């Protein structure tokens, strides 16, 4: 069982569209293992670059900041099969979009949670889905296509 919530904190205003984007990790407020960051950024790149929606560049900058990270307990998730919040894992990432003049264009926050799954479920499932949701929002609101 996983839940993803995408909150738009400051909506994308105007019709600014971009053909290239830079993905920038920005000052996490919590300790996050490098593999978590790698999973998120790899999936984000796939959704933005490999999809052909953007090329790498500096027209649009996507700053992501991990503001919470809780690994949870996979054994507890498996044992309790998602009952209550036993062993729940979660991440929260804030995304800020800026143009090349450092003008903020939008701000979102994505939260992923996993409470159960095969053998307790992996937090990677929540990280992957969070990155996919961020990619979809970015393409919908900023891509030239």
Query: At CA 143, angle to CA 141 and CA 145, rounded to 5?
Result: 120
The CA angle 139-141-145, to the nearest 5 degrees, is 55
Strand partners, 143: 18
Highest mean pLDDT among 32-36, 37-41, 120-124: 37-41
Average pLDDT for 25-47: 91
Which residues in 24-58 are b (16+ Cβ under 10 Å) and which e? eeeebeeebeeebbebbbebbbebbbeeebbeeee
Other Cβ atoms within 10 Å of 135 Cβ, number: 22
Helix (H), strand (E), coil (C) string for 89-112: EEEEEEEEEEECCCCEEEEEEEEE
- Residues 76-94: pLDDT tens digits? 444 445 444 555 678 899 9
pLDDT of residue 120: 41
Tell how strand 104-114 and strand 89-99 pair up. Answer: antiparallel
Alpha carbon distance 127, 58 (integer Å): 25
Query: How many residues make up the chain in this entry?
Result: 145
Percent of the chain with pLDDT over 90: 52
Q: Is 70 helix (H, G, I), strand (E, B) or coil?
A: strand
Q: Is the pLDDT of residue 70 over 50?
A: yes
**Which pLDDT value is given to residue 89?**
75
Two structure tokens written together for 112 = 């992923």
Q: Looking at per-residue confidence, does 11 or 83 come out higher? A: 11
């Amino acid at each position: 069982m996983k839940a993803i919530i995408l909150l738009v904190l400051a909506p994308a205003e105007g019709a600014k569209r971009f053909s290239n984007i830079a993905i920038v990790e920005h000052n996490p407020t919590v300790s996050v293992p490098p593999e978590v960051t790698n999973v998120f950024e790899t999936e984000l790149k796939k959704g933005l670059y490999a999809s052909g929606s953007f090329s790498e560049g500096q027209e649009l900058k996507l700053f992501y900041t991990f503001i919470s990270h809780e690994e949870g307990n996979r054994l507890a998730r498996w044992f309790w099969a998602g009952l209550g919040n036993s062993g729940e894992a979660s991440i929260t990432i804030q995304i800020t979009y800026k143009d090349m003049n450092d003008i903020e264009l939008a701000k979102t926050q994505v939260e992923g949670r996993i409470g159960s799954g095969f053998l307790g479920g992996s937090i990677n499932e929540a990280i992957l889905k969070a990155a996919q949701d961020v990619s979809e929002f970015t393409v919908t609101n900023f891509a030239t296509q």
